[in-house]
Amino acid sequence: MSEAMKLEFEQGSARLLVGLLWDPNEQGGVVGAPKEHNLDLACAVLGDDLKVRTIISSTDTQRDEYKTEIFHTGDNITGGADFEDESITVNFEHLREDVHAMAFVVSTDGRLKLDQVNAAACEFRDGISLNSFSRVELKVSETYYLAGLVTKSDDGSWNLIKAEGALASLSAVEIENAVREACS
């Protein structure tokens, strides 16, 4: 099993904020304009069998079904925000009992690899205090990347597993295989 850290939240509220951030590239494209790129953050929700139940992204219709439990702020196509460019908040107090794991995946629009994007990172934070649990610098030559995995322990507590790795796509099968490998 990959390295795991128990998530201990401050101020009595169990909320996780997973943020994706990046700076716009300064290198010129056509006529010296910045080379545009779009990163996306998604959360694959898994049951106790480690099968993907749904994938919540900025454009997925399933995000409305989970909005009080797992909330995606929406799509940012430019980067460079003062805080996270895209984020997903997980409210563990309202999370369904049948959710046993969540895989957080970062992807590009396919025109660039993650290592071609300035200051790309994925940060896992306490959703109230904003203290950081972990930060993943996205300096990999990949289009799809598993940035982290959150799993439920037998006692009901939650752990962050450093389960970083490349994915071929955002498909359920790809995510399930990566999660099984991280949990073995």
Residue 132 has pLDDT above 90, yes or no: yes
Amino acid at 156: G
**pLDDT at residue 126, as a whole number:** 93
* Domains held by the chain: number: 1
Banded pLDDT at 146 (limits 50, 70, 90): very high
Closest CA to 101 of 66, 52, 151: 151
CATH number of the domain residue 119 falls in: 2.60.60.30
Sheet (strand 70-72) strand order: 70-72, 86-91, 15-23, 118-126, 132-137
For 133, the token pair is 């649990």
What range defines the domain where residue 110 resides? 4-25+34-183
Residue indicated by tokens 């790129």: 37
For the stretch 49-88, pLDDT in tens is: 999 999 988 877 566 677 789 988 876 656 556 656 789 9
**Which alpha helices (DSSP H) does the chain contain, by range?**
172-183
Instruction: State in Å, rounded, how far the first CA of the chain is from the last one.
Output: 5
Tokens 């909320």 sit on residue: 15
Per-residue confidence (pLDDT) for residue 181, from 0 to 100: 87
Say if CB 165 and CB 148 are below 8 A apart: no
DSSP 59-107: S-GGGGTTTTTEEE----SS---SS-SEEEEEETTT--TT--EEEEEEE
